[in-house]
Amino acid sequence: MKKYQAGQIRSITLLGNSGSGKTTFAEAMLFNGGIIERRGSVENKNTASDYRPIEQENGNSVFSSVLYTEYGNSKINILDTPGLDDFAGGVISSLHVADSGVLVINVQNGVEVGSEIHFRHSDKMNKPVIICVNGLDHEKTNFDKSVEMLRDRFGGNVTLVQYPVNEGQNFDAVIDVIKMKMLRYPKAGGNYEEVDIPSEHADRAAELQSELIEKAAENDESLMEIFFENDTLTEEEMKSGIKTGLVNRGIFPVFCSAAKNNIGIDRITEFISNVAPSSADMPAWTTVDGKEVKSDPGGPASIFVFKSSVEEHIGEINFFKVISGRLTENLDVVNANNSTKERLSQIYVSAGKNRIRVSELEAGDIGAVVKLKNTRTNHTLNSQGNNKFPEISFPEPKYRTAIKPKSEGDEEKLGEALNRMHQEDPTILIEYSKELKQIIIYGQGEYHLNILKWHLDNIFKIETDFYAPKIPYRETITKSAQADYRHKKQSGGAGQFGEVHIIIEPYEEGSAPNPAMKVGGKDYKLSIRDKEEHKLSWGGMLEYVNCIVGGSIDARFMPAILKGIMEKMEEGPLTGSYARDIRVYVYDGKMHPVDSNEISFKLAGRNAFSNAFKSANPKILEPVYDVEIMVPSDRMGDVISDLQGRRGMVLGMSSEKGFEVVKAKVPLAEMNKYSTALSSLTGGRAMYSMKFAEYVQVPSDVQETVIKSYEAEQEEE
């Protein structure tokens, strides 16, 4: 492969719903550029992009793939992404480093769910978007209807630069209003032939070109002046305005294609090469401390790792974008995230599973490197200086399940496999919950985690079971209670003796210990000597108040009493969940001159606390999440009704770009499999996020059910 200068490099992300033809589109681009000798197909399971077994088995992309092609004097990096929202991580990481997105629309279905979601991601990340209406050689096509849907969903900046002459099974030509020519393709597809626009299309072509010129001029003040003066723009001026409009998201140009027959792909590739922005045209990357780093090949080398994977026969491979400078083989760099040194002994460009070794890469390019020891996704590597770029913001998980191996001997292997899967897909999160005594895995949806299970079964050869995850409840008290407990044990040798008297009450932030209390109809006057505040790792507080006078309990036993109380806080009496927000007064007790020791007072403190807790009107708290749902207006009633059935509290509604946004608080216990239910309610068109908000008391009927369930579980064990 020849060397490319920074201005000759473009990086695009292929976006769109599953089944829109992105992988076939990429295959045609690689074939036209001579990167592959023959075009594969999804049906034949031999495309450059979908080379992993799970993708070939399912017939759709699961991971993002890094590819490239060459056109004239340009290199175009292609990031082919999955169309299903369950695999949003690959879309977001690819958009993070791309200069532009190419949104592929299946003309038979128009704007589908995945297309809307991907467009929203591009909007959030402020990336240019080129639109391609694909599949125009199918018998059931309606180009005009697709364009109408595009404008309805994405606004007035959707602008035609092409339209088909004869959509349907005989599709072989388009009118191109930038060139003002008809582009005709041979039956086998490939390279177009320019011919004059037929007279019957002249008026429509002129009208569309006029709209395009106005749109191009709108995005550049100098071009607007030329337009007012001449009432038109030259082709080069038009291209300049389109490029500016792309960068500003002021124009979304629409092209035509039939990727399966390689029609239209060469013209889109030409447009990407000549008009779409390079990294130098896009806003500069900004470091975590606010410093701008321009895409300058003359600067010190800085690269950002946006994807890591482990591949058979190769091992770990890291994919990166060169943010600045020039990268060469055997370059020594420092990882800004962990300060370790790495050597880039060999660098590659990728065409799916095929790696081509290169000697150098310039700013704006995308490459791969193997055998790095301490580098992962979201890491920055520098040859000089200390640039550190912000991490990719992956979506919060929406689906959780517990997992365990069928064979206990596979526990360690399972841990290693899950960590490797997280490394490849950072939207898969793993929690080893000491509290719940479960391994919990989190993902973007049920299908997402089913794909993970497929890898465990087929790649790692670990048989596992998924089962319902427990809810991390919390326990607390709502009133004061008193209890005392004497631990006494006599044996042949030294005995054990410890007696502890305590009062407990709810702890509220900012409140002070009370020296005079009435508990159970009896008045208590307490001499408060000192207090300890213990901020609990699981949330909330334990305040430990020493009210011992007259030496009834020696000071050296006070830490042992606290230890016993803390043990019971870690395993609450109602459900075995963590307890929180409690103040404990230790006000009296008894010792034995010989038999008293730390273990005696630990057990006395533990049991006194447990007895008091049960008398203090204990309540279960449950985690509640902030849930935000973007839903089509015609499905909003169904979504709100479903939320209310899940004990959700709707906080507000607003509109955003053709969607209704519903904000609610919903208990985690009611969110199990919500992604699947929401998809069913809305035909897959809704999108939601959830984030932990707070702990609140559960209703009494729910508390009763939870306690009974816990007791039944304890009996089974």
Give the tens place of pLDDT for each residue, 132-174: 999 999 988 999 999 999 998 899 999 999 999 999 999 999 9
| Tens of pLDDT, residues 493-538 | 778 999 999 999 999 999 999 999 999 899 999 999 999 999 999 9
* Reported CATH class of domain 621-706: alpha beta
Rounded average pLDDT over 270-283: 96
Q: Which stretch of 249-253, 541-545, 708-712 has the lowest confidence by average pLDDT?
A: 708-712
pLDDT range class, residue 419, cuts 50, 70, 90:
very high
| Tens of pLDDT, residues 447-495 | 999 999 999 999 999 999 999 899 999 999 999 999 999 999 877 677 8
For CATH 3.30.70.240, the residue range(s) in the chain are: 621-706
What superfamily in CATH does domain 399-470 come from?
Elongation Factor G (Translational Gtpase), domain 3 (3.30.70.870)
Sequence-distant (≥ 6) Cβ neighbours of residue 353 within 8 angstroms: 48, 51, 311
CA distance 559 to 624: 34
Q: Is 563 helix (H, G, I), strand (E, B) or coil?
A: helix
End-to-end Cα, the chain, rounded Å: 64
Mean pLDDT of the chain: 93
| Tens of pLDDT, residues 197-252 | 999 999 999 999 999 999 999 888 888 888 888 888 888 999 999 999 999 999 99
**In the predicted model, is pLDDT for residue 312 greater than 80?**
no
Q: Name the pTM for this structure.
A: 0.86
| Tens of pLDDT, residues 341-369 | 999 999 999 999 899 999 999 999 999 99
For CATH 3.30.230.10, the residue range(s) in the chain are: 475-617
pLDDT at position 547 is 96
| Tens of pLDDT, residues 427-449 | 999 999 988 889 999 999 999 99
Q: Is the dihedral of CA 392, 396, 398, 402 positive or negative?
A: positive
pLDDT range class, residue 657, cuts 50, 70, 90:
low
Rg of the chain over all Cα atoms, to the nearest angstrom: 32
Do residues 434 and 389 make contact, with C-beta atoms less than 8 angstroms apart? Answer: no
CA distance 23 to 44: 13
Helix axes 143-154, 113-124, angle to 10 degrees: 40
pLDDT at position 64 is 95
pLDDT range class, residue 540, cuts 50, 70, 90:
very high
Tokens of 282: 């896009």
pLDDT at position 717 is 63
What percent of the chain is predicted at pLDDT more than 70? 99
CA distance 586 to 574: 23
| Tens of pLDDT, residues 59-96 | 889 999 999 999 999 999 999 999 998 999 999 999 99
How is domain 475-617 classified at the CATH fold level?
A: Ribosomal Protein S5; domain 2 (3.30.230)
For CATH 2.40.30.10, the residue range(s) in the chain are: 294-382
The secondary element (H helix, E strand) that includes residue 73 is: none
The amino acid at residue 269 is T
Q: How many CB atoms lie within 10 A of CB 257?
A: 31
For CATH 3.40.50.300, the residue range(s) in the chain are: 6-281
How is domain 294-382 classified at the CATH fold level?
A: Elongation Factor Tu (Ef-tu); domain 3 (2.40.30)
| Tens of pLDDT, residues 566-599 | 999 998 888 889 999 999 999 999 999 888 999 9
Q: Which residue, among 273, 381, 386, has the nearest Cα to 327 in the 3D structure?
A: 381
**In the predicted model, is pLDDT for residue 714 greater than 90?**
no
pLDDT range class, residue 710, cuts 50, 70, 90:
confident
Tokens of 557: 């036993």
Backbone phi, psi, residue 687, to 5°: -140, 135
For CATH 3.30.70.870, the residue range(s) in the chain are: 399-470
Tokens of 368: 């791969």
CA distance 107 to 138: 9
**In the predicted model, is pLDDT for residue 713 greater than 90?**
no
What superfamily in CATH does domain 6-281 come from?
P-loop containing nucleotide triphosphate hydrolases (3.40.50.300)
